[in-house]
A = this chain, B = another copy of it.
């Protein structure tokens, strides 16, 4: 749509700082003439920017760029250096407690990174279940030990991956019950207890929990809030061979990292793939946010840059379709046989009816429209949340400007204790995840993650306001 293109152009100028808070945008009339667009198209573009919290209308004056919180992009890299060395992980207990607190009934849901129920495809899925169940009565009668993948899903996955510029071979695919399961299988295929696994810092708490459960050690690699994991640091960290206690595998989120929202540039992805292949360090990449990144094109997974078969691409449909569906996959490269064996061992074949349901959804024309709408919604929800943080949190607060996904990472003034804040917020019925759970080494105590999976609402506005007051008080 023309209005979306115009909105995108201004959004980029604002993000890049070429338009500063307080700057006045050209008038509607001027823009329409200059671009040869209709008045209504220009107004639609400006309204889109307004709904994303990027501009505000001032009566009788026009549109102005809103005040935005400090961006983390300009911020120096986190202090953590790999020199700190690998550490044993011990987050599980605290994490489970935080998640349970967050999911108590009535909590304002800024905790778990879940898309709002109305952004999921529940009713569509149900129709697909009903239809396929009727048409394919024999689907549930097969064996559960071999033939892990249903052909229509293999077809849907490989076709879609081609569109991302990431050819996948059907032979390397293993359908799983989730992205978490996919990563678990990969870790089991390539590591042994006591091995070291490199992760982004900060990284998604479930990654740390996985390492803990398997007796693996975490090495936190500094990660840039826009461009992702530091290649220099990874290069340094992987010099020692795994056999001598070096890094055995990397577990990374190159597209829409959780919690930073960074997307690695293509050149960095290619370099990383080559580096890890050369050093025989297995790469497990979590691409669960790949479909909801905000740049023009869907970013390619690192798997697309790796010809060696060393990269294992893991993903699922929990963020884009439904977290309850429980279906994902891994493209395991040259380790497909090992991963397949682990899958047979762990849970057998994923429900074939569910496999057909997700295949049917992926092949439907509406799926692309759904993803596009989802990206717009998440971008808007992030913008609204950032804006509210700017208005209600202390001025020194720094916040990410995510390139994908739907979480925000906040760095609070030094001395603020995110975990103590979580306890106080929980008593007020507000959920979020404190920063220390994103580190195995006890970093990020003055940080926190806010999930932006829900459409903006007065309840959310009020929750951010009260959270800001708790920080200040």
Residues of A within 8 A of B (CB): 92, 96, 99-100, 103, 112, 114, 117, 120, 122-123, 125-127, 129-130, 133-134, 136-147, 176-178, 180-181, 184, 188, 192-193, 206, 209-210, 213, 215, 318, 322-326, 341-342, 344-354
Contact = CB atoms under 8 A, between A and B. Distances in A.
Contacts of A138: 117, 122
A326 B215 CA distance: 28
B143 A137 contact: no
A345 B120 contact: no
Contacts of A125: 133, 140
Contacts of A210: 345
A61 B127 CA distance: 61
Given A100-B146, A347-B347, A133 B140 contact: no
A323 B350 CA distance: 10
Nearest to A355: B324
Contact of A129 (B133, B178, B324): B133
A326 B213 CA distance: 23
A142 B125 CA distance: 14
A99 to B, nearest CB: 5
Given A133-B129, A213-B188, A351-B354, A144 B344 contact: no
A184 B346 CA distance: 7
Given A126-B136, A127-B133, 8 more contacts: A92-B341, A122-B137, A122-B141, A130-B130, A144-B323, A326-B350, A326-B351, A351-B354
Contacts of A349: 324, 326
B146 A103 contact: yes
A345 B213 contact: yes
B144 A134 contact: no
A246 to B, nearest CB: 20
Nearest to A117: B141
Contacts of A184: 345-347
B130 A96 contact: no
B122 A139 contact: yes
Given A133-B126, A133-B127, A324 B146 contact: no
A129 B353 contact: yes
Contacts of A146: 99-100, 103
A127 to B, nearest CB: 7
A318 to B, nearest CB: 6
A144 B443 CA distance: 27
B209 A345 contact: yes
A78 to B, nearest CB: 26
Given A141-B117, A141-B122, A324 B345 contact: no
Given A181-B346, A193-B215, A326-B347, A137 B141 contact: no
A96 to B, nearest CB: 6
A143 B126 contact: no
A364 to B, nearest CB: 17
B347 A181 contact: yes
A262 B339 CA distance: 34
What 6 A-B pairs come out closest when comparing CB atoms?
Answer: A126-B133, A130-B130, A117-B141, A140-B324, A140-B322, A129-B133
Contacts of A341: 92, 96
B126 A141 contact: no
A215 B144 CA distance: 24
Contacts of A96: 341, 344
A148 to B, nearest CB: 12
A351 B123 CA distance: 15
A137 B6 CA distance: 37
Contacts of A140: 120, 122, 125-126, 322, 324-325
Contacts of A144: 178, 318, 323-324, 326
A178 B140 CA distance: 14
17 contacts: A120-B141, A122-B138, A122-B140, A125-B140, A126-B134, A126-B139, A129-B130, A140-B324, A177-B348, A180-B347, A180-B348, A184-B347, A192-B193, A209-B344, A323-B348, A325-B351, A326-B350
Nearest to A213: B345
The interface centre, meaning the residue of A99, A210, A353 with most chain B CB atoms within 10 A of its CB, is A353
A171 to B, nearest CB: 14
Given A123-B137, A193-B193, A345-B209, A145 B326 contact: no
A318 B351 CA distance: 12
Given A129-B133, A192-B215, A353-B129, A103 B326 contact: no
